[in-house]
Amino acid sequence: MHRFKAVFLGMAACALFAVSCGGDDPAAPPADPPVVSSVSATTVSPGDTLLISGSRFDTPASANRVRFFNSLAVVAPFAGSETELSVVVDKDATSGAITVTSNALSAQGPPLDVVRGVGDVFVFGGLGTSQPLVLPNPTATTQYLVIPHATNSNAPYTPNYSYGIASTLAPPVVANETGSGAPGTYTVGEEFEAWRWEQTRELVERAGRPTGMTAQRAPASVQQTRQFNVLKTTTGSVLETSSYQRVTAELRYSGTKCLVYSDIDTLGSGNLAQSDFNAMGQAFDTSIETTNVAYFGGYSDIDGNGKVIILSTPVVNRMTPPGSGGFIAGFFLSIDLYTTPSVPVGTTNQAEVLYLLASDPGSFWGNPFPVAFTAQENINTTAHEHEHLISFSRRLLVEHGPAQETWLEEGMAHMAERLNGIDTANQNRAALYLDDPGNISLEHNSAPLEQRGGIYLFLQLMADRYGTDILKSIVQSKCTGRACIQNVTGENFYDLFAEFLAALYLTGRGITDDPQFNFASIDLADFGSLATASHVAGGLQVTGSIRRTAGDFHIFSGVLNQETRLVFTNPGGSARLRQVVVRIQ
């Protein structure tokens, strides 16, 4: 009752005295900024609780923000009032003045000295083109690992972005350029796989998603002799009938989960023996299929026969030009999960098919492939390509989402190799990556060998940290690329990337036992040596270049008035440069 009366009287006042009301009020005076009068300690370590005293803080306490000098070290207080805030010192805090922001206004507090021990990892930067950092340096043997890396998701992944690291206490006396600037290593196999996934995305755009088998369709019968449409080119379009060759194949193995066929062109030519076909089929039936389903999930059965078809054909051999270096080992083709008339007759087999090499010791079809080598390579390829079948069929038929980004899709298939006990090729790819990790983006979407080695190591570390169930969650989703990694871990992709870079150096060295910086399932020493550059910090200027989601490794040592002072520069600012910093000695 009184509230309504007050409103009426206020309205009457406007009418009788012509006072300014409603939207005609002059602007309210600006709010006063907060005041920081003191802190409970000026020497702190990450994880400590700091009490900040002052006035005009916002309520509740969580509405305020405290920055510990580093632009990445911004946290909300967990308790407090208008005159006091309690906050945990952030893991990325660095020495310097704190800043408290309340009601969009800020005030600086006293400088803090952030103390860190050996093995303590933090990330610095992310904004601006010139950023100073002060590091404690108590002895002549103290060493810091510094890893500049680029995190601008809007920047292209192929250009090189320049960076600089300089001491501020003396003029520069030496310059060090890092990174080869090479475009990455491709064989015909990597080029084909990148083309294949480009074609898959175009297929989905033009033909829509596959619908799978209709309920009325009868399961396909097992045929002793059967014809297949086999892709024969690495150019053109998978939607063109001219891109395929029609072949006739004989059934060589009928198992519980697969049917193994051999192109009749290979019969009687010193090709794979019956024992080899048995080994291929048994490997899939007893190990590969079970392992991949356990880690990645189930897959389609559009022909209703409950089995995957494995076809060995020289059409695959002939896709690799003679003497080209590398080879196309086999493939899964997404168009096989489509039915006519949504795609042209002659382009699809309307079945789950994996295409593999025929052995060719005499180079009859272009390149030599000895029998024993081909038999083992086919088993390895089956593990890799079956993951692609699982991923595409689940994402398109069940989740009704898009095909995965090439860089992540290939990384997942390399994880399938590892989980099936096949790791030699992963070791070789990882060695290429570790030799120059600043030159290849983990998000390089045409997936050269170096990128494949890097994303495999990244996924292995994520699986070690968060469990292998994240692999199935990535497959059984609509997300693509970075979003998938963030969804399954709950963490920012570039924060995880920084931790991955630190782990590449720290793992197995005894510097830290923190599991987020140590591989648990592999010995990284088996995967090659990490390229690092060592510098004496006095009067130094380091220059280099990196790509997006790539990082260089520098070790700094030396005493400069009991502290190391570095200035990081990011010419142009387009890389959104950050630095992983670790005291390693």
Is 485:533 a contact under the CB 8 Å cutoff? no
Is 322:186 a contact under the CB 8 Å cutoff? no
Rounded to the nearest 5°, which phi and psi values hold at 380?
-60, -45
Cα 207 to chain centroid distance, Å, stands at 29
Q: What is the identity of the amino acid at 370?
A: P
CATH entry 1.10.390 includes domain 188-489: yes
* Arch. (CATH architecture) of 121-182+526-583: Sandwich (2.60)
Q: How far is CA 412 from CA 194, 201, 353, 463, 471, in A?
A: 14, 18, 19, 11, 7
Is 228:244 a contact under the CB 8 Å cutoff? no
* Arch. (CATH architecture) of 35-114: Sandwich (2.60)
Return residue ranges of the chain for CATH 1.10.390.
188-489
Mark out the alpha helices in 227-313 (DSSP H runs): 274-283, 289-296
Return residue ranges of the chain for CATH 2.60.40.10.
35-114
Closest CA to 331 of 382, 265, 293: 382
Bridge partners, residue 548, by sequence:
150
Prediction pTM value: 0.90
Return residue ranges of the chain for CATH 2.60.120.
121-182+526-583
Alpha-carbon distance 192 to 581, whole Å? 39
> In tens digits, what is the pLDDT along the chain, a chain of 585 residues?
333 233 333 333 333 333 334 444 555 556 799 999 999 999 999 999 999 999 999 999 999 999 999 999 999 999 999 999 999 999 999 999 999 999 999 999 999 999 888 999 999 986 666 788 888 777 778 889 999 999 999 999 999 999 988 876 544 444 444 555 567 888 999 999 999 999 999 999 999 988 864 434 556 678 999 999 999 999 999 999 999 999 999 999 999 999 999 999 886 566 899 999 999 999 999 999 999 999 999 999 999 999 999 999 999 999 999 888 789 999 999 999 999 999 999 999 999 999 999 999 988 888 999 999 999 999 999 999 999 999 999 999 999 999 999 999 999 999 999 999 999 999 999 999 999 999 999 999 999 999 999 999 999 999 999 999 999 999 999 999 999 999 999 999 999 999 999 999 999 999 999 999 999 999 999 999 999 998 876 667 888 999 999 999 999 886 555 677 788 888 877 888 999 999 998
Classify strands 554-557 and 96-102 as parallel, antiparallel or unpaired: unpaired
